[in-house]
Structure 1
Amino acid sequence: MRDLPHFGPDFTWGVSTASYQIEGAVDEDGRGRSVWDEFSHTPGRILNGDTGDVACDHYHRYREDVALMADLGVDAYRFSIAWPRIQPDGVTVEPRGLDFYDRLVDTLLEHGIEPSATLFHWDSPLALEAGGGWENRDIADRFAEYARIVGERLSDRVTRWFTLNETVVFTLLGHATGIHAPGKELGFGALQVAWHQLLAHGRSVQALRAAGAQQVGPANNHCEVLPIEDTPEHRDAAGLFDLIYNRAFLDPILRGTWPLAGIVDPVAQDGDLELISQPIDFLGVNSYNPQYVAAAEPGAEIPFEMVTPEGLEYNDFGWPIIPEGFTRMLTGLKDTYGDALPPILITENGGAFNETPGEDGRVRDQRRIDYTAAHLGALHDAIDAGVDVRGYFHWSFMDNFEWAEGYSQRFGLTYVDYETQQRIPKDSFAWYRSVIDAQRDR
């Protein structure tokens, strides 16, 4: 394991979570149902029939969790706001939902932790699905109104705002393949959903700035895309996947262009790209591993396949561990977008390593330490290569509801016993704290 270089005195060290994955309390204080409530209660959708009804009970235990973050020593905490807590029916405002995030933000500030809020991490109000949900262009206006409400309440204390989280994953898994909520299988038609999310991003940037937000940007998922073999067919398949996965969610924001023109064109209106390409202050990048792609069999509806080659090291989720791919992804963004690329924050990076407490109660998750150390080293290599990266938020602060995989995969620095809700800081927690302390001592 390499020694970590210095990231500088202004580098931000943080952790991330998401509302549906940790909060629980799904029917308290006026919260409406989300698409994930509906999806997780549909038989066969989630491994072991798990739901986020209780999750980590963070809604009731946030003070305990924030105290643990303070012990960890992070500068900032990236959390998401549950839209159905704020507008249970997608329209009406629920004051008790705003009150909860008021309390959370104030508690963070009391502990010297910078609140970094994400407006949307996939838990749409179920009521909006009756009107088509994200297939309906009108949702961009609904989202802008939600952004205004939250921004006016919190932007006096929350300076860093993320608009939407991982539009690509919400599009592909939620609307193209149906693996995630809301469970739609639209194939390439899901790119219309992507367009509406991009519009929602642009409108929410405007709304947040009008409400006084100081720093605004998206949190996108990006990865290095590699052909499984160096042949024309596999290279073409990888190239198309890269357009869909990476550039379709970034070109419109940074360049005001649609990279799939003539391949898959969304229904758009004049002025859409100008709206989507509102200036942003940073780009949040979530990244875990490269993606290998193969050409599909002739005649297949989708011309590429995501594959997992043999001979690599994998985490417990089956994702390959290739730190140098992290460097190449970041330098690739710099090479592609040049001066149009704003400063980057790594908003998610981590791995599923499912170690549990030993007889002494200690969680020895050395594999997570090794993974994170390697990726921090790879991150610094990208900085040395000229990429302007200003912060790192580890995913995740604690174990949580891992979407379609339920509670089977553990990403946290903190172990959660879901039966007792006991929090146990893992070895990686102590290691990450030592990293942050060492960086500040230099």
Structure 2
Amino acid sequence: MAPDFPQFPPGFRFGMATSAYQIEGAWDADGKGPSIWDTFTARPGTVRHGEDGRVAIDHYHRYAEDVGHIAAAGVRDYRFSVSWPRALAGGRALDFYDRLVDALLAAGVRPVPTLYHWDLPQELEDRGGWLNRDTAHRLADHAGVLARRLGDRVRDWITMNEMNVHTLYGYALTDHAPARGLGLAALPAAHHQLLAHGLAVRVLRAHGADAVGVANQHFPVSAASEDPADLRAAETFRTLTNWTFSDPILLGGYPDETIRAGVGVPDARLDRDLELIGAPLDFYGVNFYEPTTIEAPRAGKDYTGVLEVDIPDGMPFSPVPVKSDERTDFGWAIVPGALTEILLALRGRYPALPPVIVTENGASFHDAPPGPDGRVPDPRRISYLDAHLRAVAAAIDSGVRVDGFYVWSAFDNFEWAAGYDERFGLVHVDRHTLSRTRKDSWHWYRDLIAAQRRP
């Protein structure tokens, strides 16, 4: 019997997603300078097995083959990011993105570039990074360079990726670049990224962009119990990790006075910033992987290893394991209904919520190499994607306008501090030869797309 695929409205935008540092390699080609991730991975003990993205999967040189894998699946959109250090080099370095965009369009795939996916040029980090307000203006310059170079062919843009994760992991903690470890003093970095988003939206619109959005990670946060202390802890964590990064964009203000004060901007200037940050968007990107459960810290309790990163002592919240029947090989809880839940929560919180695109969703499973028949069976990934796409369909049925879904990721890649052990790709990449092999999930996704009812 034919598979029972979930069905979506006509014009639904199926896609795949990647990011520059995780796939491009060619770390110093054409005059590209270092990013904060080049610096971070050069430090001993920062990345599993001491790995880095200097070669990654060599997409810079193999982009034509990679576009072939993307297009053959029948996807409508390909979300990638532009390496800011590469773009900063200008000239021949930008030629790569000309070639990539032209190849995508020739294959019938819409390019959807992200301006910033965590690879800040090291020269800007040396001037203060996202703690320096000027970095937001440099991101606007970056947007202008790309719009002038690619805007005749690229009509859809994403400004920033997962500002909450970048702020938490890289500025509040030390698990990602630039490893500042500032705790709640990282809030200015959050505000400057939001300001960069607002400035970039203005620049892209001035250059005639058809559609501009942002990609924020969102997830439901549950209290571990009905104890008032746990409820307060969960609300604090929910506010910091979700609404601090979406309220300014979708409501024009921070969710509470403590956060507003913590970003360190005088009121008059902050109000002007928020007006810029809250400019209307054409779509709102939601990255989703797993929910979180939070309790008030218990004295003497060991909370290490619950999340991908450990929350330090002294914070007013602590994570506890999410109840789940199954986990990915990365240890993340598989709770598809939580995707429906967060989409409904966004619609409820934001009356003027733009059309949503799920700009990332996927799972790491430690897939075996291709077998003698050339196949890479990955039934757990197929099950994961099927369940999460059905969760999206349930949200649509409940009244949320969701216009698209991008699988993370098109290819196995460099998974930040976890190195290359974690495999999210629809296409298997051999770590030694870099040969590409389409996994069973790639074929399943192709068949899902082909099975959609047409008007």
Same fold flag (TM > 0.5): yes
1:146 and 2:142 are equivalent in the alignment: yes
SS of the residue 1:213 aligns to: coil
Moved more, 205-214 or 425-434: 205-214
Instruction: State how far apart, in whole Å, the 2-side matches of 1:254 and 1:289 are.
Output: 23
CA shift for structure 1 position 441 = 5.4
Amino acid at match of 2:407: H
CA shift for structure 1 position 304 = 0.7
Instruction: State how far apart, in whole Å, the 1-side matches of 2:68 and 2:4 are.
Output: 29
1:359 and 2:371 are equivalent in the alignment: yes
CA shift for structure 1 position 311 = 5.4
Q: Give the structure 1 partner of residue 360 of structure 2.
A: 348
1:313 and 2:326 are equivalent in the alignment: yes
Instruction: State how far apart, in whole Å, the 1-side matches of 2:365 and 2:223 are.
Output: 27
Amino acid at match of 2:384: Y
1:135 and 2:147 are equivalent in the alignment: no
RMSD across aligned positions (CA): 1.5
* Shift in CA distance, 129/364, structure 1 to aligned 2, threshold 3 Å: same
SS of the residue 2:318 aligns to: strand
Q: Alignment partner for residue 373 of structure 1, among 380, 386, 391?
A: 386
Q: Give the structure 2 partner of residue 4 of structure 1.
A: 5
Q: Give the structure 2 partner of residue 31 of structure 1.
A: 32
In the alignment, structure 1 segments of 5+ residues that lack a partner are 89-93
Instruction: State how far apart, in whole Å, the 2-side matches of 1:215 and 1:236 are.
Output: 38
8 Å CA contact 2:324, 2:335 repeated in 1: no
8 Å CA contact 1:17, 1:396 repeated in 2: yes
Deviation per CA, 1:312-363: give whole Å up to 9, x if none: 311011110011111011001111112x210000100010111112532321
Tell me the number of residue pairs that the alignment of Structure 1 and Structure 2 aligns: 436
Deviation per CA, 1:197-223: give whole Å up to 9, x if none: 000000000111111211001100000
8 Å CA contact 2:292, 2:322 repeated in 1: no
Deviation per CA, 1:160-196: give whole Å up to 9, x if none: 1000000000000011111000111010011110000
Instruction: State how far apart, in whole Å, the 2-side matches of 1:262 and 1:158 are.
Output: 39
Instruction: State how far apart, in whole Å, the 2-side matches of 1:411 and 1:108 are.
Output: 22
CA shift for structure 1 position 235 = 1.3
Instruction: State how far apart, in whole Å, the 1-side matches of 2:230 and 2:325 are.
Output: 19
8 Å CA contact 2:291, 2:322 repeated in 1: no
Percent identity of equivalent pairs: 50
8 Å CA contact 2:185, 2:262 repeated in 1: no
Q: Give the structure 1 partner of residue 103 of structure 2.
A: 107
Q: TM-score, normalised by structure 2?
A: 0.93
8 Å CA contact 1:163, 1:216 repeated in 2: yes
8 Å CA contact 2:362, 2:408 repeated in 1: yes
SS of the residue 1:345 aligns to: strand
Deviation per CA, 1:89-136: give whole Å up to 9, x if none: xxxxx2112111011000000000000010000001000111101100
CA shift for structure 1 position 440 = 5.0
* Shift in CA distance, 168/311, structure 1 to aligned 2, threshold 3 Å: closer
Q: Give the structure 1 partner of residue 307 of structure 2.
A: none
In the alignment, structure 2 segments of 5+ residues that lack a partner are 301-312
Q: Give the structure 2 partner of residue 261 of structure 1.
A: 257
Instruction: State how far apart, in whole Å, the 1-side matches of 2:6 and 2:25 are.
Output: 39
Instruction: State how far apart, in whole Å, the 2-side matches of 1:78 and 1:394 are.
Output: 10
CA shift for structure 1 position 370 = 0.2
Q: TM-score, normalised by structure 1?
A: 0.96
SS of the residue 1:29 aligns to: helix
1:69 and 2:70 are equivalent in the alignment: yes
1:415 and 2:454 are equivalent in the alignment: no
8 Å CA contact 1:2, 1:374 repeated in 2: no
Q: Give the structure 2 partner of residue 392 of structure 1.
A: 405
* Shift in CA distance, 358/106, structure 1 to aligned 2, threshold 3 Å: closer
Q: Alignment partner for residue 336 of structure 1, among 346, 349, 356?
A: 349
1:160 and 2:135 are equivalent in the alignment: no
Instruction: State how far apart, in whole Å, the 1-side matches of 2:62 and 2:4 are.
Output: 36
Tell me which stretches of 4 or more aligned residues in structure 1 moved more than 6 Å. Answer: none
Q: Give the structure 1 partner of residue 189 of structure 2.
A: 193
Instruction: State how far apart, in whole Å, the 1-side matches of 2:370 and 2:104 are.
Output: 31
1:21 and 2:17 are equivalent in the alignment: no
Q: How does 1:203-214 map to 2 (within 5 A)?
A: 203-214=199-210
